[in-house]
Amino acid sequence: MESFQDNMDIFNLFSEQKEEDAQQSVAELKRLADKHPEQPKFVFRYAYGLLFLSYKQKEEAAIQSVKELKRLADTHSGQQEIVDLYAKGLLGLSAEQKVEDARKSVAELKRLADKYSGQQEIVVEYARSLFNLSNKQTEENALQSLSELKRLADVYSGQQEIVVQYAQGLFCHFSEQKEDDARQSVAELKRLADMHADQPEIAVQYAEVLFNLSIGHGEKYARQSVAELKRLADTHPGQEEIIETYAACLRYFNIFHKKIKYARQNAAELKRLADTHPGHQEIAFEYATALYRLSSMQKKKDARQSVAALKRLADIHPEQQRIAIEYATSLSYLTLEKREKDARQSVAELKRLADTYPGQEGIIAAYARGLSCLASKQKEEDARQSVAELKRLADTHPGQIQTATTCVKDFLYLTSEEDLSLHSDTLSGSREIVDAYARGLSCLSSKQKEEAAWQSVAELKRLADTHPGQEEMRVIYTDCLSNLPTKQKKVDALLQRVLCFLLGIILLVGIITLPYIYYIFLRFCTLIVCLLFIFLDSKDYRAVGGPGTLVAVFILSALIIFNPIIPIHMEKALWAWFDGIYGTCFLLYGAFFDKFRQKLVP
């Protein structure tokens, strides 16, 4: 028949031609095959041309080419190569067809496989078509195709390609199956992997299924999957895909099963894998993620050791920015330590990382979180410097405004409910630098005197107004603003409370009948107290956009009713009502001064 070089020449010719040119070449090959029917090589080349033409054609035209291939296969049934080309044409056609038409093509392939059972190449094409068909079918019909694949794998157990197709079919349909069926598929894949231990492709499929089984099926199955994956990794030490899957499974096991003993064991096992495969960056990253996870669950001393191990890993793999992100994130958690000195060291290391990886937003965001936390521990002067650095970061990265609050809440409370390392890419672009700047301003305002504190609040208000859709920013601003009344001098707060009580008593005493001079004294006292309130609160009112409506109406109405400049005259009985009401209100204002002050917040 044809030499390998002849076949390659035909392949090169058709691979370079467009469909129209290929049709002309096939027409010429047909002419030669019809002219020389006694020459098998012309018929073979024509069949070969038809096969490659069908690959370039749309479905309708490809069907005609495959029909011609069928005619040739029927006419030259003794030429196995032509029958095999027909089988390949059916396989290619079935891959492009819809389910119903594909089922007919697969049925024809089955006929060929049964007729030419000794030609394992045709049986392989049939197995491939069954796999392709199962991916298009509903679960019930797909199970029938998988059953046929299983029959083929059992009959042709020595044909590795058929067994691999069956294993791939089990893997592809695992995720769609119910729990009991999924476990049966896992057991079947295990049987295949054990039976064909020399076939790493089957072991890889089995490993992937074990990994999927470990997620969302409870701790028991997760532990069993990890143990089985370890056995596979030990059995196939040179198969990197299996080792990667094992490493990933160890990491996810930590995430979904939050026990520190598992985190410690898995980190140790990942360290062993990383040491055994020093050049494997994916395993190094999995180890880094496990270290970060472990550090977030440990106490202070142990956490520092885990972070130190992360630093070594980041130094060994400087090109792996994902490891640097894990290291930076763990450092940002270390800034939660109580001592300012320890937090400052962590922030200094975060700054070094941010300078080393200037374009890595995840690291810069971690640096911003660290600065925000450090500012809460520092004295005013040092905190002002930290906030100034945060402002620089926020100005340098104006687009990085956090859109989700979960990572900030995790940062503040250090819970293990969410694994931030799972979303390191999301965190990198989660735009949280401005949010960290806002938190830094909030911490700074708590240390400042009244004038400076109001400036910090004004900057917070600007941030909140600039980012109206940022709910977390508004919460920070509102919380800071509600706490600001405690920032004014204690003497001012005490003075206002004392004046409230005194004026309330004076007004209540005015209910009884007294000499007129007392009521003139009462009017002047009310005037002085109301004006003093307006003066002391004027800065608060300007900062927040005006006083609370009730408070403003109350102060202004008292000023008008009791003013001594243009006195209002009423009957004594009516004045007694006003004296009683306003006297009681001033006493209540003094008694619940802090609560009324919070009402100044808009």
> DSSP characters for 493-519?
HHHHHHHHHHHHHHHHHTTS---HHHH
Does 533 lie in the same domain as 435?
Answer: no
Residues of the chain with pLDDT under 70: 1-15, 216-218, 255-258, 338, 398-431, 450, 481-493, 537-549, 593-602
Instruction: With beta carbons less than 8 A apart as the criterion, state whether 222 and 253 touch.
Output: yes
How far, in Å, CA of 544 to CA of 454, rounded?
A: 10
3-state secondary structure of 53: helix
How far, in Å, CA of 246 to CA of 284, rounded?
A: 13
Q: Give the CA distances from residue 569 to residues 144, 524, 563, 572, in Å, rounded to whole numbers and listed in that order.
A: 100, 15, 11, 9
Does 421 lie in the same domain as 394?
Answer: yes
Does 445 lie in the same domain as 542?
Answer: no
How far, in Å, CA of 73 to CA of 477, rounded?
A: 80
pLDDT in the model for residue 545: 38
Boundary of a domain, candidates 435, 458, 484: 484
Does 500 lie in the same domain as 384?
Answer: no
In a domain, 515, yes or no: yes
pLDDT in the model for residue 15: 63
3-state secondary structure of 390: helix
- Domain range for 409 is 318-484
In a domain, 9, yes or no: yes
Does 452 lie in the same domain as 548?
Answer: no
3-state secondary structure of 449: coil
Total domains in the fold of the chain: 4
What token pair was written down for 441? 């301003």
The pLDDT tens digits for 492-502 are 667 778 888 99
In a domain, 206, yes or no: yes
How far, in Å, CA of 409 to CA of 420, rounded?
A: 11
Q: Which residue has the tokens 């199956």?
A: 177
pLDDT in the model for residue 256: 66
Instruction: With beta carbons less than 8 A apart as the criterion, state whether 474 and 464 touch.
Output: yes
In a domain, 340, yes or no: yes
Geometric angle at alpha carbon 446, from 398 and 381, rounded to 5°: 75
Does 461 lie in the same domain as 346?
Answer: yes
What token pair was written down for 296? 């977030």
Which of 68, 3, 9, 5 is closest to 41 using CA atoms?
3
The H or E element spanning position 575 is helix 572-591
How far, in Å, CA of 207 to CA of 211, rounded?
A: 6
How far, in Å, CA of 236 to CA of 228, rounded?
A: 12
pLDDT in the model for residue 517: 92
In a domain, 23, yes or no: yes
Does 470 lie in the same domain as 390?
Answer: yes
SS (H, E, C) 111-146: HHHHHCCCCHHHHHHHHHHHHHHHHHCCHHHHHHHH
3-state secondary structure of 361: helix
Q: From the DSSP assignment, how many helices (H) and strands (E) are in the chain?
A: 30, 0
Q: Give the CA distances from residue 464 to residues 84, 206, 433, 468, 483, in Å, rounded to whole numbers and listed in that order.
A: 71, 52, 14, 6, 17
The conformation of residue 594, written as its DSSP 8-state character, comes to H
What token pair was written down for 101? 């038409």
Number of Cβ within 10 Å of residue 132's Cβ equals 21
**Residue partners of 571: CB distance under 8 A and separation at least 6:** none
Does 247 lie in the same domain as 218?
Answer: yes
In a domain, 39, yes or no: yes
In a domain, 131, yes or no: no
Boundary of a domain, candidates 93, 113, 146: 93
Does 330 lie in the same domain as 246?
Answer: no
**Residue partners of 548: CB distance under 8 A and separation at least 6:** 596, 599, 600, 601
In a domain, 214, yes or no: yes
Does 579 lie in the same domain as 507?
Answer: yes
Does 457 lie in the same domain as 538?
Answer: no
How far, in Å, CA of 360 to CA of 600, rounded?
A: 42
Boundary of a domain, candidates 45, 72, 93: 93
Does 469 lie in the same domain as 496?
Answer: no
How far, in Å, CA of 591 to CA of 500, rounded?
A: 8
